[in-house]
Structures are given as C-alpha cells and as structure tokens.
C-alpha cells in the first residue's frame, strides 16, 4: 500500500528485531503512540505477524519485513520496503541483537564472533545510514530520532563466557555518542537505552528462570525487567518530550 498523497506525512517507526521481546514491546507501544510501524524480523515470521495483528486490532498500521540487518544489502532492502509501504522513516529503534554462545574467550571461533558483531554492531551502521539518508535535513528530510538498544553488560562485562556480547554492547555506547555528534546538526537526535536483565527469550539458553531469579536477587529493586518497561524508555527518547536529550545513555536496569 502506498502512503496517501494528501494530508500530513505519517510518522514511521522502524523497529529491528521486533518479532519478540523488547522489540515487539517497542513496536506495540510505538503504534499506540501514533506511529505506522515496521516490524523487522529474521526468521520467526509467525511471531512478527502476531505483533502486526496486535497493532492492527488496535486500529494501528504495521507491516512485517524479513531482513537480516547485519547484512548491508538486507538493511537497505528493508528501508526501501518501508518507503514503499509506509513512507520514509522518521524514527528508528535499533533493537536487533544476539547473545552468542556461552564460550570462554580462548575458544571463540571466528564465525560466532563475526555473527555477534554483525548483528549487534554492524547493523547499527547499516540501519542508521539508511535512516540518516531519509531523515537528515541535508538530504531534504525533516529530522528524526534514533534509539539504539544496548545493554548494561557494556558497563559491568556481562556473564562469564559472553565477552563478545559485552564488547559489542560497548561499541553501541561509543557509536551512539559519535553519531549524535555527527547528525545532531542535521536535525536527528540519537540516544541509547541500556536495559538490565529483561524477561525475554534471549535468556532461555542462558539458564531461563533459574538465572533470572539469581540476577533478580542482585538488583536493588529485587526483580528483572519486563519488556514493556524498556519499551517505555525507548518511546520517551523517540518522542518530542525528550527534545533536548541527545547523545545520552540511559540505564534502565533497576539500579543494578
């Protein structure tokens, strides 16, 4: 469906890795905030279409687009589909991420490391590049907002055996600050949310409820986060309510 030619331009939100967990929560909350939403996913088509159905049931507009955003060509195709179906992106939540296998650093293989860095780091370059081309006032856009979803693992190192994940999330922090300085003058705000441990599927291979309970006991609030709590912070940073918040890294970690 092509966006209508008349009337105000739609606000369009792209959420990477949006089929489940934090990404799905961001997509649903974004739709409630009035965005037309692109629900990006890699393999789980059923989960992504459930998110789209949830949004449409509330009267919102959404599409599901399969794309491996760790690959530059796939990220570019994602944004072309969004252009055609929803209109140019005005907000981007870079949420796609993988933990990788729990592996001591001396045993990490190149293929596993490359995958973690592609999804958790390179995808930000590819997706932000596409978004900037559309948002930047230097390219004829009207500005926009980007939120990168990092992790407090960048600050404390994360779980033993997940050094690649922690390192990749450190790169998210640095990239956020660098990009904010680069594109702020072009009308684009860039910020980062660093979630603490959150009740999502990514925790299942790491120990599931057992590890969640153990981590909860180390958190001043005495629990882990729900995906919706992280999504609320992302949508605030994307909104005009955060109009002077730029280059910030917001910990949403229950004080951990």
Report percent pLDDT > 70 for the chain. Answer: 94
State if pTM tops 0.85: yes
**pLDDT tens figures, 192-249:** 999 988 787 766 666 667 777 787 788 888 888 899 999 999 999 999 999 999 999 9
If we measure between CA atoms, which residue out of 165, 146, 148 comes closest to residue 156? 165
Residue 4 reports pLDDT greater than 50: no
Is the sign of the CA dihedral 58, 62, 66, 72 positive or negative? negative
Calculate the average pLDDT of the chain.
92
If we measure between CA atoms, which residue out of 120, 134, 12, 132 comes closest to residue 68? 120
Q: According to the model, what pLDDT value does residue 212 have?
A: 74
Hey, where are the domains in the chain? Answer: 12-251
CATH code reported for the domain at 12-251: 3.40.50.720
DSSP string, 172-214: HHHHHHHHHHHHGGGTEEEEEEEE-SBSSGGGGGGTHHHHHHH
Residues serving a catalytic function are 165
In the numeric block, the tokens 């730029």 are attached to 246
Contact predicate 149/94, CB 8 Å:
yes
E strand or H helix at 65, and its extent? Answer: strand 62-66
Task: Output the CA–CA distances (angstroms, integers) from residue 8 to 4, 88, 171, 193, in the order listed.
Answer: 9, 13, 37, 30
Give me the mean pLDDT over the 64-86 stretch: 98
Q: According to the model, what pLDDT value does residue 60 have?
A: 97
Report percent pLDDT > 90 for the chain. Answer: 79
Q: According to the model, what pLDDT value does residue 207 have?
A: 63
Residue 8 reports pLDDT greater than 90: no
**pLDDT tens figures, 148-175:** 999 999 998 888 899 999 999 999 999 9
Cα separation, 34 vs 61, in Å, equals: 9
Give me the mean pLDDT over the 6-17 stretch: 84
């Amino acid at each position: 469906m092509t966006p209508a030619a008349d009337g105000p331009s739609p606000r369009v939100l792209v959420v990477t890795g949006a089929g489940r967990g934090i990404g799905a929560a961001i997509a649903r909350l974004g739709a409630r905030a009035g965005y037309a939403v692109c629900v990006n996913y890699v393999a789980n088509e059923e989960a992504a279409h459930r998110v789209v159905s949830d949004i449409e049931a509330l009267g919102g507009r959404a599409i599901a687009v399969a794309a491996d955003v760790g690959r530059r060509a796939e990220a570019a195709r994602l944004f072309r589909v969004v252009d055609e179906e929803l209109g140019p992106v005005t907000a981007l939540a870079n949420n796609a991420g993988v933990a990788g296998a729990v592996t001591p650093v001396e045993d990490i293989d190149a293929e596993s490391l490359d995958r973690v860095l592609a999804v958790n780091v390179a995808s930000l370059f590819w997706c932000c590049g596409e978004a900037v081309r559309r948002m930047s006032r230097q390219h004829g856009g009207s500005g926009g907002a980007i939120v990168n979803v990092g992790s407090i693992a960048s600050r404390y190192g994360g779980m033993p055996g997940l050094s690649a994940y922690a390192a990749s999330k450190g790169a998210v922090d640095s990239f956020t600050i660098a990009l904010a300085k680069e594109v702020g003058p072009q009308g684009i705000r860039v910020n980062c949310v660093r979630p603490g441990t959150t009740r999502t599927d990514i925790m299942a291979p790491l120990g599931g409820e057992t590890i969640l309970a153990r981590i909860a006991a180390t958190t001043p609030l005495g629990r882990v986060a729900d995906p919706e709590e992280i999504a609320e912070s992302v949508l605030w940073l994307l909104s005009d309510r955060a109009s002077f918040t730029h280059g910030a890294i917001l910990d949403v970690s229950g004080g951990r």
